[in-house]
Structure 1
């Protein structure tokens, strides 16, 4: 152990740790979950500190040696080389100050090591005076969270959702001529095609993509430069735009920009709430789709069985040869977690008291987890389930011929009451509706067959016109 001091006194810090006294104090204060801040937030913090060092060198705050060492250390942080030294629990001070100081201390100590100094000496590079120069936790940490959320959404979530949308759209085309019963209230309804159902699912994904994309401009609006309370105290003129220019260049995210109002940008986290809400809506859509897929694949002999899902693993420890819809089940569990995450993010967002929101770490954790879980589960759903789904055309045909709701197409010709009477008779006698209608003689056999053309029913309009 080594002895360090911060403004509150001495602390014992592990001898080889790159973090320092303030981080160690936070570790002792928050022995909560064992979960640390997300990797993408650490990456963004490293990028921000690198950009600050570049500006501060040009402004004369850092000499070339200090600036170079800080930049190298910040790059190592961004690339993940020092993740083991980011030890503060995610359930910490609500501003993320502990994680910002964790970053400052790791970069300062690594920079001092590069310059021949000793860990814990804070010389020649000081974590506050040099690494944090011109910055505050109150603008840096939420900026890192927004950058992380933006990059995770564009690099992980949106590509995965597009993959799933494409898979569903492909099945919509493949199943375009598979006629089957529609179902409302889980009861038989007029016919649809399996392709129409899958087309609806693909459209849900397309709209989900639009919702995520629509939220990103607000996520890209960054509080950087507001420092402590939004006024920008101690931030030199030109620093914010210089740092943002570097962040845009290094991330490829050209949309990143300074907030138009720093008091909104630090007192509220509405952009993250909006993105979380978009993720929740995607989760709702995926739950509906996954549930429909496993319902349509239920069986194989006593269920609906209009779909055959890929068999990916044995389904039971006691029932031989049983196969379960495990991929859709995984998707729905992810969606439940995402919806729960959104609730906590919503509570966090509404608790921006006065000049600072103090729920930022938990919002970061939840939003980034939601983005990641939706991305991986959407990709997995596409590859391990949807791409391999097959239509059971014989079963669909069998069921649609038994579907009493096809009597609806007779209403324009014979009226509602007569149609209901014939449908009820077919049900009571357990006979095909087509046979019962022909027997009743209300229409010629040709007219009955034309009216009860189930494929034509899927195309709308009045049959036979």
Structure 2
């Protein structure tokens, strides 16, 4: 490759040759050389890239309003930022998500890309920074320490509606199955043992209910957690090198640009070092994920078999299940969701440790917090969509088998307990286990209840919810 395909840029440490077509600059290039860790570059999370551009856009507007940035530079920077928020140039955000420097490499990646897009807008070559500078102009009145965490918050706000949409659709899918299976009588189980009758519809409706709780909490929690930003605090929250009017003005413009009701942090020094909001958010993601994993455990159990397991439901077959066992089909979709959840649980621990690992006026572990939080949201969305589309919507019930299990279950004795008494019920249950006979068969043999009484007691509506005890049959 000839030298004409590069441009030379300088920084504190010396000079490097940057590819001439690149919109990033020397500090981005150094970070690319230094941090080859996760293999996940910034552009993997487009909302974060767009949020970085929005922060720079708002800062430029505020600095222009206050008379620190010329009309020409302001216009060029704004146009560059708009293009990035519209999806252009994302491939130029190449720094690894895990990086030292508390996000400085990410901030400089944004500063350099925006500066070089703006330079071309002004008719200059990339790298001609004496016309428009990444630090002096794009980063004016900012530090990584306020621009970067603000961008993380805005990026999460830009994407959380997708999380809500996926979770809502999954809830609706479970609710639909709840209605579809409302007539399917089955045994409920506790400690993996027969308990009392219920319907398969009630079971699936409960899945919907538990996840709907999280829809409501996420809808309220995320904006409340993330809308307070430390933009304007600059290096440690004191606002050094920023106009006194700048913080409120920059946040006002950022709220308008992002479409979210952002507010300046009440204590910029506290907000610059504290990561508590991300810990709480990550915990909420973990909570939802754990619920999802428990549901997937249930689906795997309920579909187990087909001949030697519970086999109350059928999951849609997605692929052959074995290289050696012909005819075997595995519950691969719930299994994959379980593994996603284990990853999210691990991500939450990483966020927790990163938040704890900060010292004094800054938390240098913010890149890990950003990486794991954005990663958890992305994984959770994909897992919920996969589960809904490839599993839940196609589940069918083995209704006759479910009813047969109820009729032959020892747990059926619970429904008879108020009428034959606890002592009789215990004896019948033990005798059923010892002889292999059914509960109803033994009750009939001992004439503890008449056929008419049994028919009334065992009506499905009298077994799957609260009902008036049939007083005339008590102590029959």
TM-score, structure 1 length as denominator? 0.95
Please name the residue that 2:204 is paired with: 198
Which among 10, 13, 18 is matched to residue 8 of structure 1?
13
1:398 positional shift: 0.6
1:463 positional shift: 4.2
Distance in 2 between residues matched to 1:462 and 1:416, nearest whole Å: 19
Please name the residue that 1:160 is paired with: 166
Q: Does 1:243 align with 2:256?
A: no
Please name the residue that 1:364 is paired with: 370
Contact 1:422/1:436 (<8 A) preserved: yes
1:441 positional shift: 1.9
1:299 positional shift: 2.2
Distance in 2 between residues matched to 1:187 and 1:455, nearest whole Å: 22
Please name the residue that 2:381 is paired with: 375
Map Cα deviations across residues 272-315 of structure 1 (whole Å, 9 max, x no partner): 11111000000000001111112111222222111122223333
Map Cα deviations across residues 163-188 of structure 1 (whole Å, 9 max, x no partner): 01111112122222211011111111
Map Cα deviations across residues 241-293 of structure 1 (whole Å, 9 max, x no partner): 3333333333322x322212212211111111111100000000000111111
Contact 2:185/2:197 (<8 A) preserved: yes
Please name the residue that 1:290 is paired with: 296
Distance in 2 between residues matched to 1:178 and 1:119, nearest whole Å: 68
Map Cα deviations across residues 300-359 of structure 1 (whole Å, 9 max, x no partner): 222211112222333333333332222212211111111111110111111231111111
Please name the residue that 2:354 is paired with: 348
Distance in 2 between residues matched to 1:314 and 1:342, nearest whole Å: 34
Distance in 2 between residues matched to 1:264 and 1:206, nearest whole Å: 34
Please name the residue that 2:83 is paired with: 76
Corresponding residue SS for 2:16: strand
Which among 26, 29, 38 is matched to residue 33 of structure 1?
38
Please name the residue that 2:105 is paired with: 98
Distance in 2 between residues matched to 1:320 and 1:252, nearest whole Å: 55
Distance in 1 between residues matched to 2:438 and 2:383, nearest whole Å: 42
Of 156-165 and 305-314, deviating more is 305-314
Corresponding residue SS for 2:15: strand
Please name the residue that 1:336 is paired with: 342
Distance in 2 between residues matched to 1:455 and 1:186, nearest whole Å: 24
Poorly superposed stretches of 4+, deviation over 6 Å: none
1:222 positional shift: 1.1
Q: Does 1:183 align with 2:189?
A: yes
Distance in 2 between residues matched to 1:339 and 1:214, nearest whole Å: 22
Q: Does 1:129 align with 2:136?
A: yes
Corresponding residue SS for 1:353: coil
Distance in 2 between residues matched to 1:9 and 1:24, nearest whole Å: 13
Corresponding residue SS for 1:356: coil
Distance in 2 between residues matched to 1:94 and 1:218, nearest whole Å: 25
1:148 positional shift: 0.8
Of 299-308 and 443-452, deviating more is 443-452
Corresponding residue SS for 1:352: coil
1:128 positional shift: 0.8
Distance in 2 between residues matched to 1:324 and 1:29, nearest whole Å: 43
Q: Does 1:252 align with 2:255?
A: no
Contact 1:293/1:328 (<8 A) preserved: yes
Describe how 1:201-240 pairs up with structure 2 within 5 A: 201-216=207-222, 217-240=224-247
Contact 2:58/2:257 (<8 A) preserved: no
Contact 1:215/1:271 (<8 A) preserved: no
1:116 positional shift: 2.2
Q: Does 1:107 align with 2:114?
A: yes
Please name the residue that 2:474 is paired with: none
Contact 1:215/1:274 (<8 A) preserved: no
Corresponding residue SS for 1:357: coil
1:100 positional shift: 0.3
Contact 1:400/1:454 (<8 A) preserved: no
1:417 positional shift: 2.3
Query: How big is the alpha-carbon RMSD for the aligned residues of Structure 1 and Structure 2?
Result: 1.8
Which among 140, 145, 150 is matched to residue 152 of structure 2?
145
Distance in 1 between residues matched to 2:16 and 2:290, nearest whole Å: 48
Q: Does 1:384 align with 2:384?
A: no
